[in-house]
Structure 1
Amino acid sequence: MSLLAFSLIFLSACMHATWNYLAKKSDSGSTFVWLYLTVSTIVYAPVIIIFSFFQHFNIGWTEVLFIIGSAILHLVYSVTLQKGYKVGDLSVIYPIARGTGPLLVAIFAIFLFDEQLNWIGVVGVALIVISVFILSGGFQVIKKANSLLPIGYGLLIGIMIAGYTLLDKGAVSIVFVSPLLLNYASILGQFLLLSPVAKKQWSQVKSDWQQHRKEAIGIGILNPLAYILILTTMMFTPVSHVAPVREVSILIGAIMGTYLLREGFGIRRVIASGTMVLGIIALTLSG
């Protein structure tokens, strides 16, 4: 993995951890998702217009199908994520989801994209997954949780993450859809699909805007930008390397939780953070 790829992924991870913190802080549902999609649609419209003058976008039925599929998967993921955050803690759902996703991506990328992982890469993936498991509280999560519902949400969201990551990898590296176009078209598609729900619950939309407009604006800007960086990186980097390294956001989230949510860091998270760093180094060297 090149230094450029690692830098883009690390910057994206910082943004990803931040917008998930804002999503948890909002404690809202699908109407809040529609709000930040609206922000994204408005903010990034000038960007896509400007780029259209310098870059020719090839759009055919294949590209359209990939974009529609991406929009549906991302929308289901976003709505499920908000529901998960309403029933479980960020420190439970986020690590489990972000750990399950890259594990599945690393496995299926071997069959779908003929990617290879040498033994150093396998060790790196394993260390990252183990560190995510430790950060989530390990088996203690099951004992402390009121039910298995939050863990179930984490696993389900992880499956969705793997799904849209593999689909979008195919879009940018096989069909050669522009990362910027794929991301914006997906956002626009999600916005249109969720608009009927927002219309029916307009009073809740106004309430969410009054109470959580800062969070909606923050997510609306950071969410697309973070994923554009990842899509760009996947154009020249194997997805089985990109997905696990993204999980450095777990470490960033842990640090944010320590200072912003006043969660105790403890020896467990120190060990887990060190394990994740070793995993990232191993995965980087494997490329």
Structure 2
Amino acid sequence: MIHWGVLVLFAALLHATWNAMLHGNRDRFLSMTWMSLAIALVSSVVVVIAPLPARGAWPSIVASGLVHIVYNVSLVRSYRRGDFAQAYPIARGSSPLLVTLGAALFAHEALGVLHGLGIVLVSGGILALATPVRGVSRAAVRAALATGATIALYTVIDGIGVRASGGRALSYTAWMFLFYWLMPLLFVARQGVPALFAPLRSMPASVASSLAGGIVSIFAYGIVIWALQSGAMGSVSALRETSVVFAVLIGRVMLREAVDTKRWIACIVVAAGAVCLGV
């Protein structure tokens, strides 16, 4: 049987990929909305055929679903204000520290010496990434850090919730993702129905990319929720956030973003800290 850590590393690659797809589209709010439609549609099918999660999981399902909507909006805001190779590492790299602390506080998970070293490395790397360089605004850094906080919040909620689901991680994930129906409602409320469907004619490739990104994101986070049943929250979160390395590579190779030496070193430090937390 494949160890959960291997699957979480695969989820990290998937997560960096769909984030790159989102950042690469011109209208990121629109793209996130179409991603959310794909996620919500697939989840609607799953909840019909899968057994219900245990009763104790429902408060977490509702809380996490709502926090995910806040995360989506925050993520779009981050990508409007900063490069993918800058915003993504800050958002993802800051969350293991917060998840580890949250898990210790709310789930009584112990923090070992190696985890302490990981926190120091992650925090140091984030500090380096958060230092504005060559036109990177402080507003972009603040937006990315706010996104990281929402990531940590829903990860801790889901870690607690899936353990109360009666071993039904698939059902838990699908019911939580049903809240993604709120994203198109939010978009329509702000920009109207025509703005949502006009890209089907004017930008079909962008819509297709967004739908594909939504499907990828289901698998990426579904793996994480499944792993949260077996692994410590901080460890799972940290291992997933090695995606910062994938993100920088994608930003450099696919999106042609400049990556200076300082950013490379900072991302490596964050990844090293994530590995320490994941051991």
Asked if Structure 1 and Structure 2 have the same fold, meaning a TM-score greater than 0.5 normalized by the shorter chain, the answer is yes
Aligned to 1:127, which of 114, 121, 145?
121
Match of 1:185 in 2: 175
Q: Which residue is 1:171 aligned to?
A: 161
Letter in 1 for 2:52: F
Task: Determine whether 1:263 maps to 2:257.
Answer: yes
CA gap of 1:144–1:109, structure 2 versus 1, over 3 A, is same
1:224-243 equivalences in 2 (<5 Å): 224-243=218-237
The alpha-carbon distance between structure 1 residues 63 and 122, as it changes in their structure 2 partners (threshold 3 A), is same
Segments of 5+ residues of structure 2 without an aligned counterpart are none
Cα distance between partner residues in 1 of 2:256 and 2:182:
38
State the partner residue of 1:83.
77
**Which of residues 130, 135, 141 in structure 2 aligns to 1:144?**
135
- Taking a change above 3 Å as real, the CA distance of residues 281 and 159 of structure 1, as seen in their structure-2 partners, is closer
What is the CA–CA distance in structure 1 between the aligned matches of 2:262 and 2:131, rounded to whole Å?
13
Equivalent residue number for residue 11 of structure 1: 10
Q: Which residue of 1 aligns with 2:248?
A: 254
Kindly report structure 1 stretches of 4+ aligned residues shifted beyond 6 Å. none
Structure 2 residue aligned with 1:153 = 143
Would the aligned equivalents of 2:35 and 2:211 in 1 still touch at CA under 8 Å?
Answer: yes
Q: Is 226-235 or 178-187 further displaced after alignment?
A: 178-187
- Using a 3 Å threshold, how does the CA distance of structure 1 residues 140 and 38 change in structure 2: closer, same or farther? closer
Kept in 1: contact 2:46–2:171 (CA 8 A)? no
Counterpart position of 1:25: 24
Distance (whole Å) between structure 1 residues aligned to residue 107 and residue 30 of structure 2: 36
Residue 244 of structure 1 and its aligned partner are, at CA, apart by 1.5
**Structure 2 equivalent of residue 223 of structure 1:** 217
Q: 1:270 to 1:155 in 2, by over 3 A?
A: closer
2:74–2:147 CA contact under 8 A, matched in 1: yes
Taking the aligned partners of 1:277 and 1:198, their CA distance within structure 2 comes to 38
Deviation (angstroms), 1:263: 3.1
1:98-113 pair list within 5 angstroms = 98-113=92-107
Further displaced range: 103-112 or 123-132 = 123-132
Q: Is the 8 A contact 1:98 1:250 kept in 2?
A: yes
Q: CA, structure 1 residues 157+277, in 2 after alignment: closer, same or farther (shift >3 Å)?
A: closer
TM-superposition CA deviations, 1:113-160 (whole Å, max 9, x none): 1111211121123223433444x3x5243x633x42211111111111
Q: Structure 1's 74 and 207: CA in aligned 2 closer, same or farther, altered over 3 A?
A: same
| Shift of residue 33, structure 1, vs aligned partner | 2.6
CA contact (8 A) 2:132 2:138 kept: no
Identity %: 24
Deviation at 1:87, TM superposition (A): 2.6
C-alpha distance in 1 between matches for 2:12 and 2:259: 19
Please report the RMSD computed on the Cα atoms of aligned residues, expressed in angstroms.
Answer: 2.6
